[in-house]
Structures are given as C-alpha cells and as structure tokens.
Amino acid sequence: MHTKKNLKQGLALPSRRAGWTLSLFAMTLSQSASAQGIDAAVDTFFNNYLGWFAGLIFTSVPVGGTSFPLIAGWLLAAALIFTLYFGFLQFRKFKLATDIVRGRYSDPSHKHSGEISHFQALATALSGTVGLGNIAGVGAALAIGGPGATFWMIIVGLLGMASKFTECTLGVKYRTILPSGAVSGGPMYYLSRGLAERGFAGLGKFLAVMFSIMVILGALGGGNMFQGNQANAMLVQTFGLPDGYGWVTGLLLAAFVFSVIVGGMPSIASVTSKLVPVMAVLYIAMSITVIVMNLGQVGPAFTAIFDGAFTATGVAGGFVGALIQGLKRATFSNEAGVGSAAIAHSAVKTDEPITEGLVSLLEPFIDTVIICTMTALVITIAGLNTGPYPHADGLTGVNLTAASFQATFDWFRYPLALAVLMFAVSTMISWSYYGLKGWTYLFGEGKTNEMIYKIIFCIFVVIGASIGFSAVIDFSDAAIFAMGIFNIIGLYFLMPVVKAELAKFLAKVESGEFKRYS
C-alpha cells in the first residue's frame, strides 16, 4: 500500500515514474522474450509489477463456501441505497422513461444542446455493456451457481437501474458544451464540479483524475484488447481458421473502428444506433428459437431457476453461491455504478438532465433482465449445467453457452459467431469514446490530442487480436471496476443534487410544462 507521501510524490513526478516503469518493462522483455516470446514477457511484467492492483480491486472474502468479491458488494450496496433513496423510481417511472426514449416528449421545433438523440445515447451506452459478458459471463455464472443464479441476476439488474439513473443525470447536468458544439461529460466532470459546489473541491479533483486514468486503462484493455482477442478466437474456433493470423483480424477490426470513431460522437452514435438493434434482435431471435423448440422444457427451467435461487443444492456454495454468482454477473455485465454510461449519455440533446437519467435506467433492464436472462434460459433448457458443477465435461463460460445453443441446432454456431463479432465491435467503439473523454480531461481538448488517442486505441485493437495474455486483461478489468470506487464515492455526495433535479422535473411533468408531443 502507498503512504500519503508516496502517493503525493507519485502524482507530482509522473515523468520519473513513467521512466522507471518503462525501464522495468524493457528489462522484463529482454529477459523473457527470447525464451518465452512476447506474450509471456508482457504477462510476466504485468504479473510481477502490476498484479497487486488487480488483486486489490478484486479482493474476495469467503462467504458460505464460495468467494465474494468486495467490489461487487460495493456496487450492489450503492444500487440498493439509490433505489431506496429515490423511492423505487425505476419502477414508478418506467413508462415515462420508455416514452422519452421513443421521442414522445421531444419538441421537433426546439433546438437542444447536445449531439445525439435519446435513443442514440441509449444505444451507444448499451453497445458498451451488451457484449461478450452476456454470452460468456452468464455461462460462467450458471456453471458455478446453477440456474438459481439467474433469479439473483435479475434482482440485481433491477436495483442497478437506480445507479444508472443517478450517474447519468449528473453526467448531463455537469457536462461541458465546447464551442464546436461537441460535448464532454461524465464522472470526471461531475466529480470535479459537483463536489466543488458542495465544498469538496480537492476531493472532487482527485476522484476525477483517478477516474480518468482508470477509464483510459479500462478502454485500452477490457474495452479493446479483450474484445478483439475473443472475437478472433471465436472466428478461429467456428470456421476452423489457422492460428497465428490474429493480426489480420486485428487490422480489419482496427480499420473499421477507426473509420467510425474518427467522426466523433455523431458517427459513433449513428453506427451503434443501427448495430445494437441488429445484434440484439439476432441474439434474442436465436434464444427465442431455442425456447420455442423446447417449449416442454420452459416450465421446468423456470422451476429450476426459482428453486435454485433459494435452495441451490448441489452447486458450489449452495444458496449463497447462487446468490453471489447472480450478483457478480449482473454487476459485471451492466456496469451500473461504474460511471462509463454517463460519458455517452452526457452527449444527448436535452435541456433536462433528469430525462437522460430516466432513459439510462432502461440499460440494466435490457442488458441484464432481458438479454442475460435469455442466455440463462437457453443454458437451463439445454440442461448442460444441471447438477454439481462443473458439469458436461467441465463446460463453462462461452463454451457452455455455445454448446447450449448448438444442442438445438448445430448450425447456430455461425450466427452466434456473428453475434460475438458484433458485440465485440460495438463494445470497442463505445469504449473508445469513454477512454477519449478521460484522455481529453487529463491532456486537454483539441483535434491533435484526440487523434493521438484514436491512433493508440486502434493499435491496441491489433495487439489484442494478435496475442494472448491474461495478466493484462486482469489489470484492465480491475481498472474498469476501480472506476466504480471513485465514481460511487462522488455519487453519495451528489445524491441530494439529483433529488432536487428530480423534484423540479416531476413538477414540470405534472403541471404540463414538460409536454408530450406524440
């Protein structure tokens, strides 16, 4: 652990620390490259010098015979607190949220500040959360926690809607509208400005800087390299392609990603608003096909889900194991409380921050309650995860999910591979924007700064698809969830601000000042 003195020195002397880190990296490469190759060298460096960070963020404690990651508890506690504080708003105002995203309250004659529509903001944020976790993560959760994990996954997803509402409302309220009309917003802005308004300027600035660093690291790793790596692996497995040509996949992905992100948020939103519905419909259609073809198994599947939620006999950790696996999957899938979605939603065309908070609460519902549950139903119907884990020759993660789809139709491997590819691409596009806003917060706005980041991001796409290393991914995943630590601390300070905004907005709705146009 760093002392305060060491932390201060580290922040004050970034160039010296960077040089020390690069020297260590070079030394590790020179010692390991000849014997083990670049993959092992990079992995060794991250394990030896940065592994402590991943270990710290994902610290777990034993609970009921299984391990419980404290970061998941941190996100769940926040979701529960926000749900209670706002009086179960996600259920009371669900219809209003759907009406807003459908444009029924949008005045076509009024020019709002912002760059994208409510639907485009929702699609962009969803493209960053609806990804490989919905396929691989659910498979892992059910392999360990059994069908009962699905029930708790849904409950946690419903609670997480309140976290999304809180952070995305603040994202719009404290965003910056640049002279060009482009928008910069997200936790780094409401942490610094919002906490300064409440007399905690120093704390707010520290939280904002740390969040920005973490979002850049998370974007390059979990939001980029991991996606390219898994997309290439799925293509190789599905089509029997030879190994060693991941760089080709990486170059193709990088070229497409660059062609999208070079145009900024309007270009990103235009692509995601088309890509997200297509990939969601494709995946849900496959899931519904499996369900319809196995209607006789639907009843027993739901019985297994509800029984397993409270008994979970025969799975690791029993009832507690099912609960923890559902909790982990939901919090790791929809990223409620992490703060990433607030960056995308900040760019919306609106003068009412609460409207985007309401729109954003639909994300965990779509991501976790609908798509993750569809995956869980397919796996439960196939029955490959029935009984003590791991079952069916140790199938877990994406292999369990893929095998469950193929149990109905073997050719489902091909549309599933397409879905994985679309999920990966959409995640990379969205996370490129998240990382960009962290980058420009730290290093300043401007076309040159933005282009440097975008080129770096695309280089990492090629690297991720070409090589495989676990420690780098562990580190970047830890960075993503570290974002949630800094973000939620700020959200607790700013809850009253959101509550005041909500009261004013609901008064406008009731008086008719906030009008419905269709």
Chain segment 209-223, per-residue pLDDT in tens: 999 999 998 888 878
Higher pLDDT, 361 or 17: 361
13 confidence band (pLDDT: 50, 70, 90): very low
pLDDT(290) > 80:
yes
Q: Is the pLDDT of residue 31 over 50?
A: no
Q: What confidence tier does 99 reach under pLDDT thresholds 50, 70, 90?
A: confident
The per-residue pLDDT for 134 is 65
Report, as an integer, the average pLDDT of 346-355.
85
Question: Is a pLDDT exceeding 70 seen at residue 33?
Answer: no
* 161 — pLDDT class (breaks 50, 70, 90): very high
The pLDDT of residue 1 is above 60 = no
Distance of CA 516 to the CA centre of its chain: 32
Report how far residue 101's alpha carbon sits from residue 291's, in angstroms, rounded to the nearest whole number: 29
**Most confident stretch, 11-20, 94-103, 227-236:** 94-103
pLDDT tens for each residue of 439-498? 999 998 888 888 999 999 988 888 888 776 666 677 777 888 899 999 999 999 999 999
Question: What is the structure's pLDDT at 420?
Answer: 80
Q: Percent helix, strand and coil across the chain, each rounded to 5?
A: 80, 5, 20
Position with higher pLDDT, 253 vs 230: 253
- In terms of phi and psi (left: phi > 0; alpha: psi -120 to 50; beta: otherwise), the region of 65 is left
The DSSP code for 221 is: I
249 pLDDT more than 90: no
Average pLDDT (309-318) is: 62
pLDDT at 228: 81
Q: Which of 2, 28, 55, 6 is nearest to 477 (CA)?
A: 55
Return the pLDDT at 376: 81
Q: What is the residue-wise DSSP string for 156-210?
A: HHHHHHHHHHHHHHHHHHT-EE-TTS-EE-SHHHHHHHHHHHTT-HHHHHHHHHH
* 3-state SS, residue 348: strand
Phi, psi for 64 (deg, rounded to 5): 55, 35
| β-sheet bridge partners, residue 184 | 176
66-69 and 176-177 beta bridge pairing: unpaired
How far apart (Å, rounded) are the C-alpha atoms in residues 332 and 309? 19
pLDDT of residue 51: 80
144-153, 281-290, 306-315, 501-510: least confident range: 306-315
Say what the pLDDT of residue 163 is.
93
User: CA 187, CA 164: separation in Å to the nearest integer?
Assistant: 12
Distance CA 451, CA 453 (A): 5
Q: Average of pLDDT values for 108-128?
A: 69
Mean pLDDT of 136-144: 67
Which amino acid makes up residue 80?
Answer: L
| Mean pLDDT, rounded, for 325-340 | 77
Per-residue pLDDT band at 17 (split at 50, 70, 90): very low
pLDDT of residue 242: 75
| 10 has a pLDDT exceeding 50 | no
Least confident of 141-155, 447-461, 504-518: 141-155
Q: Which of 30-34, 139-143, 240-244, 497-501 has the least mean pLDDT?
A: 30-34
Percent of the chain having pLDDT more than 90?
A: 19
Question: Rounded to 5 degrees, what angle do the CA atoms 20, 215, 399 make?
Answer: 105
For 253, half-sphere exposure in the C-beta direction (CA atoms, 13 angstrom radius) is 34
φ, ψ of residue 479 in degrees (nearest 5): -65, -40
395 HSE (CA, 13 A, CB side): 21
The arithmetic mean of pLDDT across residues 300-329, rounded, is: 71
8-state DSSP, 116:
B
Residue 183 makes CB contacts below 8 A (sequence gap 6+) with 113, 114, 115, 175, 176, 177, 265, 346, 347
At the fourth CATH level, which superfamily is domain 70-510? Amino acid/polyamine transporter I (1.20.1740.10)
Nearest of 220, 265, 390, 416 to residue 321 by alpha carbon: 390
pLDDT band at 25 (very low <50, low <70, confident <90, very high): very low
What tokens appear for 20 in the block? Answer: 């020390």
Closest CA to 437 of 457, 422, 423: 457
User: In this model, does residue 345 exceed pLDDT 80?
Assistant: yes
Answer for the pair 347, 265: CB distance below 8 angstroms, yes or no: yes
pLDDT recorded at residue 207: 96
Please list the residues that pair with 68 across neighbouring strands: 61
- How far apart CA 376 and CA 157 sit, in angstroms, is 14
* Residue recorded with tokens 């959360």: 129
CB 236 within 8 A of CB 243: yes
- Round to whole Å and give the CA distance between 93 and 122: 17
DSSP, residue by residue, 370-433 = IIIHHHHHHHHHHTTT-SSSS-TTT--HHHHHHHHHHTT-GGGHHHHHHHHHHHHHHHHHHHHH
**Distance of alpha carbon 496 from alpha carbon 499, whole angstroms:** 5
The whole-angstrom separation of Cα 366 and Cα 438 is 26
Residue 23 has pLDDT above 50, yes or no: no
Q: Is 240 helix (H, G, I), strand (E, B) or coil?
A: coil
Spans of all domains in the chain = 70-510
* Model confidence pLDDT, tens digit, residues 373-432: 888 888 888 776 544 334 444 555 566 777 788 888 888 888 888 888 888 888 888 888
Mean pLDDT of 178-188: 83
- Structure confidence at residue 497 (pLDDT): 95
Report the chain's mean pLDDT, rounded to a whole number.
Answer: 78
